[in-house]
Amino acid sequence: MRIPLLSDILDVIHENSEKYGDSRMKYRFMLFDTPVPVWILTALYLAFVWAGPKYMKNRQAYSLRTFMVIYNIGLVFMSIYMFVEILLSTTAAGYQWMCSPYNEKTKNDPRELRVVNVLWWYGLSKAIELMDTVLMILRKKQSQVTFLHVFHHATMLNIWWWVPTFIPGGQTWFGACLNCAVHVVMYLYYGLAVIPQLRDKLWWKRYITTFQLVQFIITFTHTVQTFYIDCDFPMWGIYLLSYYMVIMLILFGNFYIQSYIKTRKSRDVHPKKESAKNGFTETSLNDTNGNQNHISNGHSNGVTKRHYYS
């Protein structure tokens, strides 16, 4: 049964995939030469974000401590593998830091297949990371399921259908590699924070947010400079990443200002107050997938501050 508008969109995507898509990525798991599986997964994810809290409303929160250790440490090793493999494969393929072309010549270079493979793994990791939100909801940490959190997970999953399908190489490597480095630090902290004996020893937790911000700024700068150099890379890919980095900088920058700068100023003005302006007690924030390790105090308006990650 054909749904007119949807069928027309899928026909256009399929036509362009056949014409411009990278044959080395065709029919790989989660790509399948069509975005439909990713769209279905996104719909299921958003449905769980909506229905999950309703299901958990009158139920006791799950602990999931053992699973969370395995999950987070597993993502640490996956991120380390991808980070190292991206660096090694791009170096072997002759990539340059500022400009790495992607064209018919590079698509036919056998050295590029190694880059293609690791970028496919990176795209697959965006599907695995949806589990972050599932853990939050099952542990009844609903305050952490913010618009920024859901938007970032859902959009990254979909962007990383388009990127490996059409441009699995060239300038694509830089942002993915940097994001893997951030995730090594981030998931290592979350994995260790599950263990009660280690929570107070994780002194570097406060630097995670700064690392994330630096990641966005560096990726945006690296992407924008491509406009001004003669680098043979599809321009639509540069626009896509540039606009997405702008959106992330706006959303994440607003989060950082509200969560850290305004809170610090409020604490300086009212150093002896233990509660927020509207009467809510300032509480420490649980980490991203529901650990009880606290990262920072609440907003001055009484909303519990949520540590966001990318």
Alpha-carbon distance of 95 to 78, in angstroms, equals 23
Please state the rounded mean pLDDT for residues 2-24. Answer: 86
Token code pair at residue 100 = 């790495």
Residues 6+ apart with CB under 8 A from 303: 276, 280
Alpha-carbon distance of 155 to 70, in angstroms, equals 26
Mean pLDDT, the chain, as a whole number?
84
Instruction: Say what percent of the chain tops pLDDT 70.
Output: 83
- Asked if residue 150 has pLDDT above 80, the reply is yes
Instruction: Say what percent of the chain tops pLDDT 90.
Output: 61
Q: Residue 284 has what pLDDT?
A: 36
Q: Residue 41 has what pLDDT?
A: 97
Over residues 269-278, the pLDDT tens digits come to: 665 544 443 4
- Answer whether residue 169 is part of any domain: yes
More confident residue, 8 or 41: 41
- Asked if residue 92 has pLDDT above 50, the reply is yes
Query: How many structural domains is the chain composed of?
Result: 1
Contact 134, 289 (CB under 8 A): no
Selecting among 149, 152, 183, 299, the annotated active-site residue is 152
Residues 6+ apart with CB under 8 A from 150: 46, 49, 133
In DSSP terms, 275 is beta-bridged to 281
Q: How is 140-188 classified by DSSP, letter by letter?
A: T-GGG--HHHHHHHHHHHHHHHHHHHH--STTHHHHHHHHHHHHHHHHH
Half-sphere exposure (Cβ direction) of 228: Cα atoms closer than 13 Å: 6
56 membership: H or E segment, kind and range: helix 36-56
Buried b or exposed e, range 197-216, using 16+ CB within 10 angstroms: eebeebeebeebbeebbebb
Q: Residue 300 has what pLDDT?
A: 31
Q: Residue 209 has what pLDDT?
A: 76
Q: Residue 302 has what pLDDT?
A: 32
Helix (H, G, I), strand (E, B) or coil at 275: strand
Over residues 186-234, the pLDDT tens digits come to: 999 989 988 888 888 888 777 787 888 899 999 999 999 998 898 999 9
Q: Residue 296 has what pLDDT?
A: 34
258 membership: H or E segment, kind and range: none
- Answer whether residue 295 is part of any domain: no
- Answer whether residue 101 is part of any domain: yes
Please state the rounded mean pLDDT for residues 6-30. Answer: 88
Alpha-carbon distance of 47 to 196, in angstroms, equals 33
Q: Residue 100 has what pLDDT?
A: 95
Q: Residue 278 has what pLDDT?
A: 40
Q: Residue 25 has what pLDDT?
A: 93
- Answer whether residue 60 is part of any domain: yes
Please state the rounded mean pLDDT for residues 277-290. Answer: 41
Please state the rounded mean pLDDT for residues 281-308. Answer: 39
- Answer whether residue 287 is part of any domain: no
Alpha-carbon distance of 185 to 204, in angstroms, equals 9
For 293, phi and psi rounded to 5 degrees?
A: -80, 120
Q: Residue 301 has what pLDDT?
A: 31
- Answer whether residue 249 is part of any domain: yes
Half-sphere exposure (Cβ direction) of 175: Cα atoms closer than 13 Å: 26
Q: Residue 44 has what pLDDT?
A: 98
Alpha-carbon distance of 158 to 130, in angstroms, equals 12
Q: What's the pLDDT band for 289 if we cut at 50, 70, 90?
A: low
- Asked if residue 153 has pLDDT above 70, the reply is yes
Q: Residue 306 has what pLDDT?
A: 45
Alpha-carbon distance of 26 to 122, in angstroms, equals 16
- Asked if residue 288 has pLDDT above 60, the reply is no
Distances (CA, A) of 231 to 67, 216, 280, 303: 45, 21, 53, 46
Q: pTM above 0.95?
A: no
What is the domain extent for residue 161?
A: 4-261
Alpha-carbon distance of 27 to 171, in angstroms, equals 23
- Answer whether residue 298 is part of any domain: no
Please state the rounded mean pLDDT for residues 79-88. Answer: 98
- Answer whether residue 159 is part of any domain: yes
Catalytic, 149? Answer no
Alpha-carbon distance of 295 to 200, in angstroms, equals 11
Q: Residue 15 has what pLDDT?
A: 87
In DSSP terms, 81 is beta-bridged to none
Alpha-carbon distance of 32 to 26, in angstroms, equals 6
